[in-house]
Chains A and B, each alone.
Chain A
């Protein structure tokens, strides 16, 4: 996030797109509700489902899944046509205007109406409300990114914010809500194929030199090419990839097109899984290593607003279980690396030494308080709640020309409905923890498919009935939840439940740049089981 969650009531208008906030980030969802109901902040929700926040929205528009780029660029088309843009900000802080404006020509209200399924009038009202209300913040989650054009969607969001000058001030910004408690930290720590910690590129020789020196290695021993992504490693299993070492992940539930993922995993020579439960992935491993869970360790976690927080050790791990860092350090030692840091403190000291944005964040500073937001380069630095004040990190903000691309797969005669997937309030990701929680599994213990009343009537399906859902990749049987909360022609399945695994159906088509799969759109067929 460029900004912080606490700023929700500093906005004049909030734009929610591709996030079911009250389910997926519930505490922040409540903060948005409060800002809207008690502080008079205006709210726009763009979602094909009537999500919790839609009830409070000044405008709720239901775009077709996969048409977000068209919607966002369409709004910009209207904003510029009406002169609502922030000309001074565009002139002083951005570049790429000519090409960008040219690309907007495609997104006429008529075209956008056709692509999104939202009327021209509603699109105009949305553009007007968002552009003329003052400070605006965009919040999104995987509804924006999990598309074959996820990068285009994100760029469309940042274009919109740039032409309105919505950067560098409280209550503005482009704010992705991150789904896991330390997905931000895993990225910051270089858990990505292209960067070391703090986003220092592996293809940069100076960066490699810096890390080689710190680790006592020769520069020529450092890998100088960008590595493979998860989706790449799965696709190349058996070819270029022979072994995988998996820490606390469950790709056998979370990968798209699970049948394909399973086939690929079978091609591997060696699989190590380090986890707290015998997950679907651990079940296919060659070696399973039992690891400590979150409350059984201490250390830092970085939240969606870049806030580095200290978490204490409340419990000892069960007997026989080791901390993740102990396991890794022991393996390193046995593989001949004698100076591998084997304490949490030593690891954090290296992180601070090698990552400028974390340098000022000492344990002492965050142990008592509510954490610090990076960049925080020195121990005197107060942290950075708002990014891009006065200047973007790349200098001038790039307005990006965007060519519309439809989703990889859309409804046709055979697979006539569009499936979109996501999480529920009570469950989390692959369910390996929440499905084992008495209260949470007690509230919701099985998956269901949300289907519009009219569609259900057409198929002669009643609420609570078991139906068959199939895509080009597989089929599942699942209970129908007939509702008017979802747009006609669209169905929704949560992916937490192994018994009704939504990812048997999803498409593993990827965004060409981000390599993110298109979980949010695939064609499917719903049938009555007679």
Chain B
């Protein structure tokens, strides 16, 4: 008796908790779903793919990108949903209360294999010297599915590389026509250069009316390269400078205009290689992951050989190399002498709109606190 009673009570308690949870979730716009046997709480309006990614469940995508949204083209992200016929695209499927999802069944694997094999059979997906090697989403899929070489023998004609642009190389043989670049160009950066052109087997991504990129209206912001899942769009300046896994990534703030874009700078052996707009937390970043041509391609001055590397002192009318000690001594002596002779107001400081706040503060404190003058300004007016 006792046992039955206690289990009844337990059942009631559990039931109440579940009801309470559902009610709570309803009020908070949350739903419970199950992916591969594990329960997850998810916000309403999210897609199955969003929830899977948030929880570290691997579902590959080729046409979907967080910054271009669902496209429903590539079918790489298909999942099984209990009670729903056929396989569904997880990037387009919004979560519903009680959804039970399989992300990795035999059926799914089979379909994914076919998708990848079809892509691999079309065009030339040679990873050996590809700039995308190591962070190619098609390569990732092939790796996870264990595809060494494709089954299908599709005859494809080799298309010419488009190297006409200063900063971007287009390799149509590697393009999988996912459409991310087109969406990014037309709806993120709004430059409206890229589109699909031609039909059926001849369909390809074109610039304007199918002119080489370097002759088109492209402003080379590089958004398309950043969104490309494969090696169809790459940076010319990064070519051969080092494989992805050897690069170091650091988030910096762009040094050019006042928008203050957040940039992930990739470097190797203390040399700048290339820039991507920061993808992490992109919705809240000033630039939402985008860059302009200057932020994308304008940082290579960092590597220049003609950077100043030693102090220079003018001797007999000419600037000659000097040690830091000599330079410091000269500046201290001269500023001291001029201050003593003409007063502190005879010295002026041009601080900079290009150095950090901390450095501006240092210059300001030096001018006002050490020299004792308010003669300090910067190029806000120029």
Using CB atoms and an 8 Å cutoff, list the residues of chain A in contact with chain B.
Answer: 5-6, 24-28, 30-31, 33-34, 37-38, 145-146, 177-194, 196-197, 202, 211, 215, 217, 221-223, 225-231, 233, 240-249, 251, 254-256, 269-270, 272, 275-278, 282-283, 285-291, 293-297, 299-305, 307-316, 318-325, 328-332, 334-335, 337, 340-341, 344, 347-348, 350-351, 369-371, 425-426, 428, 433-434, 436-440, 442-443, 514-517, 519
State whether the Cβ of B294 lies closer than 8 Å to any Cβ in chain A: yes
Nearest neighbor of B313 in chain A, beta-carbon distance = A287
Query: In the assembled complex, how far is the CB of residue B307 from the closest CB belonging to chain A, in whole angstroms?
Result: 5
Q: Which residues of A contact B167 (CB under 8 A)?
A: 439
| A286 lies within 8 A of B313 (CB) | yes
| A328 lies within 8 A of B309 (CB) | no
CA distance A332 to B379 in the complex (A): 24
A to B CB contacts below 8 Å, 10 in the list: A177-B257, A186-B378, A191-B377, A192-B380, A202-B368, A277-B307, A299-B359, A320-B310, A370-B285, A370-B286
Nearest neighbor of B284 in chain A, beta-carbon distance = A370
Contact partner of A324 (CB less than 8 A), chosen from B258, B271, B314, B355, is B355
Contact partner of B261 (CB less than 8 A), chosen from A27, A194, A323, A516, is A27
| B360 lies within 8 A of A285 (CB) | no
| A295 lies within 8 A of B265 (CB) | yes
- Give 1 or 0 for each of B201-221: 1 = CB within 8 Å of chain A CB: 000000000000000000111
CA distance A223 to B220 in the complex (A): 49
Name the residue in A277, A337, A436 with the highest tally of chain B Cβ atoms < 10 Å from its Cβ.
A436
CA distance A310 to B272 in the complex (A): 19
Q: Which residues of B contact A225 (CB under 8 A)?
A: 374
State the majority secondary structure of interface residues on B: mixed
Q: A270-B334, A287-B311 are in contact. Are A437 and B368 (CB under 8 A)?
A: no
| B378 lies within 8 A of A191 (CB) | yes
Nearest neighbor of A26 in chain B, beta-carbon distance = B292
| A30 lies within 8 A of B188 (CB) | yes
| B346 lies within 8 A of A242 (CB) | yes
| B374 lies within 8 A of A194 (CB) | yes
Known A26-B292, A243-B338; 6 more pairs at CB < 8 Å: A186-B352, A194-B374, A242-B341, A249-B350, A293-B255, A371-B286
CA distance A26 to B188 in the complex (A): 12
State whether the Cβ of B57 lies closer than 8 Å to any Cβ in chain A: no
CA distance A517 to B349 in the complex (A): 19
CA distance A286 to B297 in the complex (A): 33
| A439 lies within 8 A of B370 (CB) | no
State whether the Cβ of B365 lies closer than 8 Å to any Cβ in chain A: yes
| B364 lies within 8 A of A190 (CB) | yes
State whether the Cβ of B67 lies closer than 8 Å to any Cβ in chain A: no
Q: Which of B25-33, B116-124, B126-134, B323-331 contacts A (4 or more CB under 8 A)?
A: B323-331
- Give 1 or 0 for each of B16-44: 1 = CB within 8 Å of chain A CB: 00000000000000000000000000000
Q: Which residues of B contact A514 (CB under 8 A)?
A: 381
